Structure 1
């Protein structure tokens, strides 16, 4: 999530550190386990001053609720707390325990010395509200207060404050208030607050006091503000206790590149959900509440962003543990739902869920649980199959459905509102259609329709209207069948998906012309264009990519949240780029607003952040939009229809593709603007483009709770700017039914005012003539009814359907589906690195360490001219053991095996392996030791070190693993870490590297401290703190390559073993197969001169 409320105590702590112009706040925090006697010894002022006490639990209007005790001494406060602390309290329909309080000195003042000030952020500016009368009786602030807008990128001046905000403030307070407001706004901006309210703000005795404070900060800015914020806890809203299970899922989420969210609403509830996708999770909650299940809804949550099987298992295991704690007399319902995924492997996530369900089999039976499943997306057929097979043995009913069933129909079935079909209609959407050499997928029940096109012998795909690429953003066509784009990031799978889409749309040439990846040198990547192999250039420098591909006008950015801002700013310095899609989620809101400002100034359209992108059938698709090719074909995205849509959710955009294809002639264009609070382009930007596009006959809008962008659509309809029929629905109608505030899956999905609720938006949209269903369940029907009306009115007329060309299935995907198998090229019997633990000749590495080998003592004498302590020699032995081998696939072992099979001797074979050791293989120990040592000695905090390396475009050596991750740790590192922490005198550099690992794994779970990096930093700690070396000597050993020597010596044992193994197995001469080599020869025309061309 983005904007999150913080406690009053934390807000005042931050202002104490950075705010200038006010009295520093003294406060003491009281919790249920606080000893008040010891508290007074820590804060001596508690016994000498008049005090004020109030709960610090995100409760509004505490004064009017009688929750403030003011002007009492410590004994009075203790007596008052005795009646409040730990007691249940009701606020309307919401009830909860009062368990956190804050005590402060009482500031004696008059009513006319109270002021009100509030700062909040929105898309284009920060708004400052000020009123010269503050306190609990202030009333309607929006109507009374003076407003001052500070545009994004502008500075706040004292003159502006005096002339706008302080016109009614007492003259004797204006100077102090002016300086205070300037400092407050600077702090607000620098610390990435999104909301800051002080009421009352008191000016008395020539000083300013902050009495009551409410604040929110942008959680996504943690990587920028960690040093300033310190440790921050985000308390739950009053009435909902934070459970340890919620904290556990939040921790998993922080360590994962995926999104994992869980909020418990009613632990005793009967209806539990496990939903994939931020937008889908809101829709399922809406549907449950619409059907009367609000009081029984137990949880809200979602998993998305392609979590691994293990991560999904952990999520499901946690949820099932909570669900089965209590037995409901009517039994419980588990809804495993989701839309049509764009890139998440459904089978992999379902395998994790199935593992958890099996573990809870007995409890599920005892609790009479019924399970309802609906999902689609990549490999969904396999996912649904294993779920159906589970239903045969689990002992509880499991009803399984795919894309043939409306997304939320399972809710109606679960609640008894709809009959459960015994054999639902199957769609012809399996991946098998990609494999035959002839034929094409069966056509849907609707034909491609258009008013202006007429049937002809020419393929309809070649007649795609390309549109006008000039003009303003409101009229410019973003994508045509000639669009050329550049990809930022090494995203081969997404690029191949885009090329397959281009091919199936019968484009003449690929849409992707180049890739940018600053962490490697210039090179080329191989991709497929149908059956043909092609090369796409990859550039380290953006300027090179732009200069060599001047026709590219779209950039799709897969940059990380840390890199996205800088790379996007750089992109917008090139006038050729007119459209940018930013996929990353979690970019700080202040940075996003700056990107929007720059884009507006330069006429660039930004789609995102936090989006999957968009699609224009027959022309172009962004990244992973639309999912696998089987879904693209099933949803008829290879040719244009007559319906354009815009949504926030990327996952729901694919569901809209499905709904629209089932009920109309298909999609003309669809865009997911992104789930962040400030998307680069808004609904109206795209709707106005659709309004000006002749071939778009109707528009679908999927809005959501939070924000006011839907009201801009309403105003445009009233002004006559939009005349085409719109089907609209805002998700999040359930928000008003909850007694406590719920932050939904998207950062922007939280209403801050009545008008921002989904119910009010839907009502307003209907009042201006939009076609608004009564629920999401009826969205498809409303779209279909409007479509039929347009057909009957002659607005849309049929056109002949033309089948698309077939595209071969990708080798890796076919292998994952179990359709093919590949013979192994090598055999080995000495090492197996594939499992949870490294094996040498079948013996686990943990068992090897139980033997007492003395090579460490010998090595300490030969290399370091010291007799090192036993713990040090033992550590050297451990390093040699874990570096001895890591399988036959690495470059050194590969060379050794090939030489052995060629009949070469031991020394030659070993040398061929050793010569491969360098920067790219095995040489990271020295580099990691130097990088981390330099950063630690320069006193950079870990976050600054990571940011600096990113800005310099350098990799952090010793970080990252191809297979292992924070959730699937490398056993070698675990063993060494435990030994070092238990036996070394101290481990300051290892502790520093561990903090860096926490930051990098929050970005991507496999960016762990790997074995090379661990040995490097741990060995520096050993040299520096064992008492045998001076600092200069320790540094010399690192500089001369002693640490890399550990790797060379350890790995030599493995190389020799591979040599002997191949001789023992009598393996013959190895020749690499032709089918594993791409032969791409240059064109001969013109290479030898004009004379030879005619020979």
Structure 2
């Protein structure tokens, strides 16, 4: 949602900081957990002034409801709050607890000193309403108040305020009111308010007081206004990170649940959209719907079929959430759903339209995980699940959902695009029979499967090719009449359209090229890409079977200059950069159409874009859209989904039906519905779900009206806004004569007792006329074909199409099969259609999911259970979760091998390299390369020698004698400094730990006996740290119960034990590197006096006469 209501206290706080010309508001906030007695220490005025107290919970007409206590002292306020705070209160059909109040000083004044002022924004201007008689009895403000329009991009002046708004205001107040209104409007605009109402506004004693206030701000402007919205006296640089969040309270009558807050938190951290509103926690019907528009339609259908009182929730997930995000969403929903048992069982509707780019299988895997987790509770609750979904990889998604139905223990009914989107609601509510074997679509991945006849027998035939003859000239006519604001009805796309893509969106570009190819275009529609974050280069794409290169430019000027025929720009810029990049785009006259995909652009910036576009004659599709499609010509970005859906919906050639929709997801569903019931789509546009789309319904409908090949029009509107009434007026004026099938989604809005914000920012009615019910009624009255529900939309479209065919308006044409487009290798592999041997294999780590796994253990569990570095090493090296004593021994080995001074060869090499100016990695590598049998690399060799002797049943003396006879050194025996009389404390510590904690130490005992023999000959022939770790670790592997003897031997053979020394000593080498850098030691040159120069004798080396050589 974009415009969000804020509390009165927050609104007054913002005006206190940024508004001049009025008395600063003093207020105290009281909540259920507030210690009222301590308020006086924070606000001393509470004890000395008369007060007013009222709930601050977005409740309208508080005075008439008896919810304002005015003129009382602090004792009186406390007594009044005692009867109100935390108590349940009814407002019409809505009930809720009064839990948040605001206390303010009471301003004594007369009735004739009260004024009313309201500022609200709309598409082309900000409207200021002013009335000189304010207060609770103001009545119909729209009829009484004086109205002043401030067009977008213009400034408000004192003269306009005085001459327009204040004609009936008392003369003594005008000067103060002029300054106040000017300052208020400046704050309204700068703080990105979308609605601000003050009633009453009081002028008394030469001062202005703001008494009651209601406000909404544009949530999308947070990145611009965070510092201004925050509440700190000394903000850190840029004023962002340390600032508190603005709190958006829920409507009265609906408490915000922790689960809702959790989903909101997930949504804020994700690029996807995740929404959840609990309507009735005891409800029987629960929904988990993909897509903002689809979520509204499912709620509508449930209510239309009589399920209003049982609808438990409203919500949606969209924008390609990951498997983990979908799992978290589903888990949260199922947790709420299974809290209570319903005697008739519960219904879960997992619905959605045909996705454009969301991987259906990935999201369904998350849902399946959650369903398995709640299996027992679902069985206990007698839950029945109904699934309908389509889009990229939907076949795999439906397959895993059907497989789950075989084991879950509750009925799961699964359907794809062959079933109307909302049919599962009728099935779930018993209004329609559940088909045992629904008709399957003959598609897989990017291909139509052969069926012996036409590619899909369920489709009607259509026009065989795009007509670009003289008829095109009729598209350039300008609409006449009183419909101001409608731009010239030029065609947006042809089969020669060239476009530039802003953003590095290779997948979308490849989809556009595949669409071009399957439409039999002669050349690609994408001629260039703009990406400011890299230098100029080229990106490789496929044109059918052939590879092509598309240039990528850092500068927009370069892209425009080198591709002057491009007249469309598709912008994938982020919400923060979309405004600037669009303004820059409109500075190039060659661009006639811009599609803005980004969602969440602040409304003030969107209105500025619309104003500039109107001045320059540019058509903007979006923001917050997937785009549009003109079959046989051009498609924007991900519109239409994967190529399998393009083929299934016959979008590769034009039909006779054009549509316009707000919802991008529902536009793909319309493609499916139209193709199933008519000869197909001629053009379809999703104008976007934001409150102010760049082009509106009527802009596109007038184009369709003037296009000879368009025979009927489909409009999918929604609750909120008044754009549908412009269509109605155009029909009345005779400007639109072609038949229209229209439906406005959001009919369920009136059935809820508290306000619900639907999936799109613009889907919220601010007046009775903006409700979907009223719009549908008005559309039907002017002759539009309006179904009784979305469930019947396809039938109404089909009936109208048949009538037009019978009347000879539409003449079906012979079907022309499309060319075959090769499937991408990666997509084919994901669908399981092909297999390829992997070049690499791994069994220790998996980073592909939402959470990193070490040998199957999630990283969160590793920290939760405090497994430590020893536990991590045991997972990564040995693929086992070793006992705690074993992981601690690993950590001890790393500690004792970390360093042994600068004199050893590895440390010396590291130091010399560091002093030569080499980097960390190079210096570390030089030290590690010295590790071998003579330095640090004896662990494996010692383990092998002692293990072989022990397993050969040689007694220690025989082993020593055999090694001497063979002239071999016993690895792990001997030390240059330490001896039996000066033991190595590292070995002593490790030996004590092993003997106390290991189950058995047979090899260590054997090595100790060997040490007794060797030290009797020479005291420094001790079992050194390498030898000890080697033999002790063999004991650990053999006797911890986690490995077989063969596995233990394999680890020794492949060098795992030497890895302990390498890993441990790396810490010391890095320490020496950092030490040398910190001490700023210069280049090391070894002194001459420490080198013996022994040169070879030269006499006679080159003959007797060396001088003549």
What TM-score range do you get, normalising by the shorter chain? 0.7 to 0.9
- The CA deviation string for residues 686-721 of structure 1, in whole angstroms up to 9 with x for no partner, is 000000111000000000000000000001111111
Once residues 967 and 439 of structure 1 are traced to their aligned partners in structure 2, the CA distance between those partners, rounded to angstroms, is 95
Residues 336 and 371, structure 1, Cα contact 8 Å, conserved in 2: yes
Residue pairs, 1:287-302, within 5 angstroms: 287-302=301-316
Once residues 1071 and 22 of structure 1 are traced to their aligned partners in structure 2, the CA distance between those partners, rounded to angstroms, is 78
Cα deviation, residue 456, structure 1: 19
Cα deviation, residue 798, structure 1: 1.8
Once residues 1078 and 550 of structure 1 are traced to their aligned partners in structure 2, the CA distance between those partners, rounded to angstroms, is 76
Aligned pair in 2 of structure 1 residues 490, 428: CA closer, same or farther (>3 Å)? same
Aligned pair in 2 of structure 1 residues 281, 932: CA closer, same or farther (>3 Å)? farther
Residues 565 and 590, structure 2, Cα contact 8 Å, conserved in 1: yes
Once residues 310 and 982 of structure 2 are traced to their aligned partners in structure 1, the CA distance between those partners, rounded to angstroms, is 36
Query: Which stretch shows the higher mean deviation, 364-373 or 1037-1046?
Result: 1037-1046
Residues 474 and 688, structure 1, Cα contact 8 Å, conserved in 2: no
Cα deviation, residue 825, structure 1: 3.6
Once residues 976 and 568 of structure 2 are traced to their aligned partners in structure 1, the CA distance between those partners, rounded to angstroms, is 31
Residues 729 and 772, structure 1, Cα contact 8 Å, conserved in 2: yes
What secondary structure, in the 3-state scheme, does the structure 2 residue paired with 1:337 have?
Answer: strand
Cα deviation, residue 819, structure 1: 2.1
Q: Give 2:238's aligned residue.
A: none
Cα deviation, residue 634, structure 1: 0.6
Once residues 283 and 145 of structure 1 are traced to their aligned partners in structure 2, the CA distance between those partners, rounded to angstroms, is 37
Cα deviation, residue 788, structure 1: 0.7
Residue pairs, 1:262-301, within 5 angstroms: 262-301=276-315
Aligned pair in 2 of structure 1 residues 1069, 103: CA closer, same or farther (>3 Å)? closer
- The CA deviation string for residues 128-168 of structure 1, in whole angstroms up to 9 with x for no partner, is 00000000000000000000000001111011100000011
TM-score normalised by L of structure 1: 0.77
Residues 88 and 98, structure 2, Cα contact 8 Å, conserved in 1: yes
What secondary structure, in the 3-state scheme, does the structure 1 residue paired with 2:501 have?
Answer: strand
Once residues 843 and 981 of structure 1 are traced to their aligned partners in structure 2, the CA distance between those partners, rounded to angstroms, is 30
What secondary structure, in the 3-state scheme, does the structure 1 residue paired with 2:290 have?
Answer: coil
Query: Which stretch shows the higher mean deviation, 882-891 or 344-353?
Result: 882-891
Aligned pair in 2 of structure 1 residues 289, 81: CA closer, same or farther (>3 Å)? same
Residues 583 and 609, structure 1, Cα contact 8 Å, conserved in 2: yes
Once residues 972 and 3 of structure 1 are traced to their aligned partners in structure 2, the CA distance between those partners, rounded to angstroms, is 67
Once residues 273 and 1094 of structure 2 are traced to their aligned partners in structure 1, the CA distance between those partners, rounded to angstroms, is 41
Once residues 1020 and 592 of structure 2 are traced to their aligned partners in structure 1, the CA distance between those partners, rounded to angstroms, is 34
Residues 256 and 1005, structure 1, Cα contact 8 Å, conserved in 2: no
Residues 447 and 801, structure 1, Cα contact 8 Å, conserved in 2: yes
Count of equivalent residues: 1095
Residue pairs, 1:381-460, within 5 angstroms: 381-431=395-445, 433=447, 441-449=455-463
Q: Which residue among 925, 946, 952 is the counterpart of 2:966?
A: 952
Residue 348 (structure 1) aligned with residue 365 (structure 2): no
Query: Which stretch shows the higher mean deviation, 998-1007 or 800-809?
Result: 998-1007
Residues 476 and 488, structure 2, Cα contact 8 Å, conserved in 1: no
- The CA deviation string for residues 32-57 of structure 1, in whole angstroms up to 9 with x for no partner, is 11111111221111111100000101
Residues 855 and 880, structure 2, Cα contact 8 Å, conserved in 1: no
Aligned pair in 2 of structure 1 residues 240, 1009: CA closer, same or farther (>3 Å)? farther
* Bigger radius of gyration among the two: 2
Once residues 452 and 274 of structure 1 are traced to their aligned partners in structure 2, the CA distance between those partners, rounded to angstroms, is 40
What secondary structure, in the 3-state scheme, does the structure 2 residue paired with 1:459 have?
Answer: helix
- The CA deviation string for residues 178-222 of structure 1, in whole angstroms up to 9 with x for no partner, is 000011000000010000000000000000000000000000111
Aligned pair in 2 of structure 1 residues 79, 255: CA closer, same or farther (>3 Å)? same
Residue 474 (structure 1) aligned with residue 488 (structure 2): yes
Residues 660 and 666, structure 1, Cα contact 8 Å, conserved in 2: yes
Cα deviation, residue 316, structure 1: 0.3
What secondary structure, in the 3-state scheme, does the structure 2 residue paired with 1:1021 have?
Answer: helix
Aligned pair in 2 of structure 1 residues 141, 456: CA closer, same or farther (>3 Å)? closer
Aligned pair in 2 of structure 1 residues 73, 455: CA closer, same or farther (>3 Å)? closer
Cα deviation, residue 410, structure 1: 0.5
What secondary structure, in the 3-state scheme, does the structure 2 residue paired with 1:520 have?
Answer: coil
- The CA deviation string for residues 434-465 of structure 1, in whole angstroms up to 9 with x for no partner, is 69999983454311148998999999999999
- The CA deviation string for residues 353-375 of structure 1, in whole angstroms up to 9 with x for no partner, is 00000000000011010000000
Aligned pair in 2 of structure 1 residues 1005, 470: CA closer, same or farther (>3 Å)? farther
Q: CA RMSD in A?
A: 19.4
Residue 170 (structure 1) aligned with residue 170 (structure 2): yes
Cα deviation, residue 431, structure 1: 1.8
Residues 486 and 698, structure 2, Cα contact 8 Å, conserved in 1: no
TM-score normalised by L of structure 2: 0.76
- The CA deviation string for residues 460-495 of structure 1, in whole angstroms up to 9 with x for no partner, is 999999999999943210000000000000000000
- The CA deviation string for residues 587-624 of structure 1, in whole angstroms up to 9 with x for no partner, is 00000000000000000000000000000000000000
Residues 448 and 648, structure 2, Cα contact 8 Å, conserved in 1: no
Aligned pair in 2 of structure 1 residues 228, 365: CA closer, same or farther (>3 Å)? same
Residues 278 and 746, structure 1, Cα contact 8 Å, conserved in 2: yes
Query: Which stretch shows the higher mean deviation, 427-436 or 171-180?
Result: 427-436
Query: Which stretch shows the higher mean deviation, 969-978 or 260-269?
Result: 969-978
Residue 138 (structure 1) aligned with residue 152 (structure 2): no
Once residues 482 and 215 of structure 2 are traced to their aligned partners in structure 1, the CA distance between those partners, rounded to angstroms, is 46
Residue 778 (structure 1) aligned with residue 787 (structure 2): no
- The CA deviation string for residues 493-537 of structure 1, in whole angstroms up to 9 with x for no partner, is 000000000000000000000001111111111100000001001
Cα deviation, residue 817, structure 1: 1.2
Residues 280 and 339, structure 1, Cα contact 8 Å, conserved in 2: yes
Residues 267 and 274, structure 2, Cα contact 8 Å, conserved in 1: yes
Residues 455 and 800, structure 1, Cα contact 8 Å, conserved in 2: no
Aligned pair in 2 of structure 1 residues 155, 912: CA closer, same or farther (>3 Å)? farther
Query: Which stretch shows the higher mean deviation, 1082-1091 or 13-22?
Result: 1082-1091
Residues 313 and 353, structure 1, Cα contact 8 Å, conserved in 2: yes
Residues 345 and 382, structure 2, Cα contact 8 Å, conserved in 1: yes
Query: Which stretch shows the higher mean deviation, 1037-1046 or 123-132?
Result: 1037-1046
Aligned pair in 2 of structure 1 residues 726, 43: CA closer, same or farther (>3 Å)? same
Residue pairs, 1:331-370, within 5 angstroms: 331-370=345-384
Residues 358 and 394, structure 1, Cα contact 8 Å, conserved in 2: yes
Once residues 17 and 341 of structure 2 are traced to their aligned partners in structure 1, the CA distance between those partners, rounded to angstroms, is 50
Cα deviation, residue 1007, structure 1: 56
Cα deviation, residue 429, structure 1: 2.1
Residues 477 and 489, structure 2, Cα contact 8 Å, conserved in 1: no
Residues 443 and 449, structure 2, Cα contact 8 Å, conserved in 1: no
Once residues 609 and 1080 of structure 1 are traced to their aligned partners in structure 2, the CA distance between those partners, rounded to angstroms, is 82
Residue pairs, 1:913-924, within 5 angstroms: none
Cα deviation, residue 856, structure 1: 18
Aligned pair in 2 of structure 1 residues 1028, 61: CA closer, same or farther (>3 Å)? farther
Cα deviation, residue 821, structure 1: 2.9
Aligned pair in 2 of structure 1 residues 226, 824: CA closer, same or farther (>3 Å)? same
Once residues 166 and 984 of structure 2 are traced to their aligned partners in structure 1, the CA distance between those partners, rounded to angstroms, is 61
- The CA deviation string for residues 799-851 of structure 1, in whole angstroms up to 9 with x for no partner, is 11000001011111111112223334457899876688889999999999999
Once residues 1108 and 465 of structure 2 are traced to their aligned partners in structure 1, the CA distance between those partners, rounded to angstroms, is 51
Residues 831 and 887, structure 1, Cα contact 8 Å, conserved in 2: no
Runs of 5+ unmatched residues, structure 2: 233-246
Cα deviation, residue 989, structure 1: 51
Cα deviation, residue 1076, structure 1: 55
Residues 635 and 657, structure 1, Cα contact 8 Å, conserved in 2: yes
Aligned pair in 2 of structure 1 residues 885, 440: CA closer, same or farther (>3 Å)? farther
Once residues 767 and 1002 of structure 1 are traced to their aligned partners in structure 2, the CA distance between those partners, rounded to angstroms, is 112
- The CA deviation string for residues 882-919 of structure 1, in whole angstroms up to 9 with x for no partner, is 99999999999999999999999999999999999999
Residue 560 (structure 1) aligned with residue 574 (structure 2): yes
Once residues 309 and 48 of structure 1 are traced to their aligned partners in structure 2, the CA distance between those partners, rounded to angstroms, is 59
Once residues 502 and 973 of structure 1 are traced to their aligned partners in structure 2, the CA distance between those partners, rounded to angstroms, is 73
Query: Which stretch shows the higher mean deviation, 983-992 or 142-151?
Result: 983-992
Cα deviation, residue 1083, structure 1: 67
Q: Give 1:991's aligned residue.
A: 1005
Residue pairs, 1:939-1088, within 5 angstroms: none
Aligned pair in 2 of structure 1 residues 732, 577: CA closer, same or farther (>3 Å)? same
Residues 121 and 127, structure 1, Cα contact 8 Å, conserved in 2: yes
Residues 1086 and 1093, structure 1, Cα contact 8 Å, conserved in 2: no
Residues 855 and 875, structure 2, Cα contact 8 Å, conserved in 1: no
